[in-house]
Structure 1
């Protein structure tokens, strides 16, 4: 009886140790994101372009400013913001300029998230994958807010770079590609205010 209990305890410890090793590997995998520069800024020759987690972090902070009257779970929005580009630690930041078919891009990212979710373990992994899939499918009100935040953060960053590099209106293409795509009135107000500030900056330059 005592021998059986000892074997069971050792087996439990071995399983726990294996899960911890996988968890640490997961932490190292997502570390790669810190070294992945956002492809749009690299392509447009921005100096010192932001990394993928820079983008996701500011999105997460922005989610705190969603009005309570929206009725969405802001904590859930924050989680989605922090997860939505996680697959890029394996597949990289794939943009339309890479000419990768949408279905293939989704397949690569799905396989990456499956790998990451496995490493994250049975408690956290399924949630990570579920959050990513929810965003990809745009299947909840929270995921739709994150889509707006994703686009808004990009144009806000574009304006930041225009000011930082003293190149007014140089990143107009990012504003053009998001025009008319915002779904929520609150975010539309942010966009309007940002564009007002940008127009004033252009005139002053």
Structure 2
């Protein structure tokens, strides 16, 4: 487990590249993003347990960006993006061996293939977290225009549940009540 904790520690402190490029002060980390996805999945399990294996969705959420502990957060505008899938698959294979955690590579492969309902929902939660995070940052930093992140997120939603959640976010009458961190 020691090796896994090393990788986990790296992503706990690895800022998300897209927000950093937009000049967002102290952007969320890769691990905080994965955690929020997993928390959304746990919440959704209350009313949708028959449609999805939520234990699997939560595991997919927690493992989907673990390769970034070796490669960093690669975004679509990075030169390395064209080889991202191959590089991340190799990184996950290394993590699986080094951390004695073969399930991580299996979960990553399932997430990347996007063929199971659980992988599709986990992918939607990835997009929905980006959507919500852009709203949070625009409220905290009114000089930031992060609409491109919301457009990208909305375009990537695949499941009926994901589309319903997105619609709820888009049709809200008031801003989400984000707050600053407690003192």
> Into which bin does the TM-score normalised by the smaller protein fall?
0.7 to 0.9
Larger radius of gyration: 1
CA shift at 1:192, angstroms? 1.8
CA shift at 1:54, angstroms? 0.4
CA shift at 1:62, angstroms? 0.3
Describe the superposition over 1:141-196 as per-residue Cα deviations: whole angstroms up to 9, x where unpaired: 100000100000101010011112234x7110111213333222222222122223
- Cα-Cα RMSD: 1.8
Structure 2, unaligned stretches of length 5 or more? 176-183
Residue 70 (structure 2) aligned to one of 76, 85, 90: 90
| Residue of structure 2 in register with 1:108 after alignment | 87
Q: Which has the higher helix share?
A: 1
| Residue of structure 2 in register with 1:173 after alignment | 148
1:29-108 correspondence to structure 2 within 5 Å:
29-66=7-44, 67-68=47-48, 70-102=50-82, 104-108=83-87
CA shift at 1:69, angstroms? 5.6
Give the length in aligned residue pairs.
Answer: 173
| Residue of structure 2 in register with 1:190 after alignment | 165
d(CA) in 2 for partners of 1:70 and 1:146?
Answer: 16
TM-score (structure 1 length as normaliser):
0.78
| Residue of structure 2 in register with 1:149 after alignment | 125
d(CA) in 2 for partners of 1:128 and 1:25?
Answer: 13
Cα 1:25–1:200 shift into 2, 3 Å: closer
Residue 136 (structure 1) aligned to one of 112, 115, 122: 112
Structure 1, unaligned stretches of length 5 or more? 1-22
Cα 1:92–1:24 shift into 2, 3 Å: same
